[in-house]
């Protein structure tokens, strides 16, 4: 791996019980990248996320991760379940839990971690909500709290799975604006699975389109000109 690379996939195959869902995957995610992952339902996007997170080992090929990712420098924002939306904790407690994997054998969070959690909450513009119960928040406010939590877990890479699901258009635009700020101003690499193709591509730099028989991986400009991009955009309209 080169010095600025975070994840490198070389001819990787991912699947379950001996059956590959994805195969021939070649992908490089470097510091500061913004990758949009699109594709039909059931094409393997969630399987890819598990592989990138290290939760699923490749059946074939190689997935290499930078050493800092192995020690927890990646934040993950999954799709929420209804039970998670009703979680009875304050925003501050939810955000602080992002440090769980970095807490080690200590029973308590450190003063530095508590300060960092408050900074993440402020960065997401919800400092006035820090003592509110998480389940009382709107969908957009909950996503901001979860993104702040992911920032506490991450230092180099954010992986997001359908982050605007259930959000109204204004909340979705706010989330995109925040991600763009984190990517451009703080150098955070972003990998996002989404069905909201039009808005997502306004912010992304590269696209991975996962299809049953056809793949695309390249710049947004080249994706617009590709057969996969033209077809997928027709389906979105």
* Contact between 188 and 154 (Cβ < 8 Å): yes
Tell me the average pLDDT across 132-140.
Answer: 91
The pLDDT of residue 143: 87
Q: Tell me if 60 is assigned to some domain.
A: no
Domain with 133, as residue range(s), is 80-153
Best-predicted range by mean pLDDT (33-37, 148-152, 214-218):
33-37
* Helix and strand counts by DSSP (H, E) for the chain: 10, 9
| Rounded Cα distance, 214 and 210, in Å | 7
Q: Tell me if 181 is assigned to some domain.
A: no
Q: What is the pLDDT of residues 151-200, one digit of tens each?
A: 888 878 999 998 888 788 888 888 888 899 989 998 899 999 988 888 88
Whether the per-residue pLDDT at 105 is higher than 90: the answer is no
Residue 130: pLDDT band (50, 70, 90) is very high
- The three-point CA angle 176-103-118 to 5° equals 45
Q: Tell me if 38 is assigned to some domain.
A: no
Lowest mean pLDDT among 24-38, 126-140, 143-157: 143-157
Tell me the average pLDDT across 125-149.
Answer: 91
**Tokens linked to 92:** 């501050």
Q: How many domains does the chain have?
A: 1
């Amino acid at each position: 791996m080169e010095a600025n690379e975070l994840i490198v996939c070389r001819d990787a195959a991912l699947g379950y019980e001996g059956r590959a869902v994805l195969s021939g995957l070649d992908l490089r995610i470097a510091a500061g990248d913004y990758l949009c992952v699109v594709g039909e339902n059931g094409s393997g996007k969630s399987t890819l996320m598990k592989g990138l997170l290290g939760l699923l080992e490749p059946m074939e090929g190689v997935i290499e991760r930078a050493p800092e990712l192995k020690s927890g420098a990646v934040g993950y924002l999954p799709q929420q379940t209804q039970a998670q939306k009703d979680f009875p904790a304050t925003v501050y407690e939810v955000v602080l839990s992002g440090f769980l994997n970095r807490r080690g054998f200590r029973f308590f969070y450190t003063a530095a971690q508590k300060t960092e959690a408050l900074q993440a909450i402020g960065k997401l513009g919800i400092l006035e909500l820090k003592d509110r119960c998480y389940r009382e928040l709107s969908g957009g406010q909950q996503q901001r709290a979860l993104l702040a939590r992911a920032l506490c877990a991450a230092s180099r890479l954010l992986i997001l799975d359908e982050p605007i699901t259930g959000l109204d258009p204004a909340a979705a635009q706010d989330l995109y604006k925040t991600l763009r700020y984190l990517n451009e101003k703080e150098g955070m690499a972003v990998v996002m699975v989404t069905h909201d193709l039009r808005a997502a591509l306004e912010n992304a730099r590269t696209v991975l389109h996962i299809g049953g028989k056809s793949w695309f991986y390249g710049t947004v400009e080249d994706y617009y000109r590709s057969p996969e991009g033209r077809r997928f955009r027709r389906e979105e309209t």
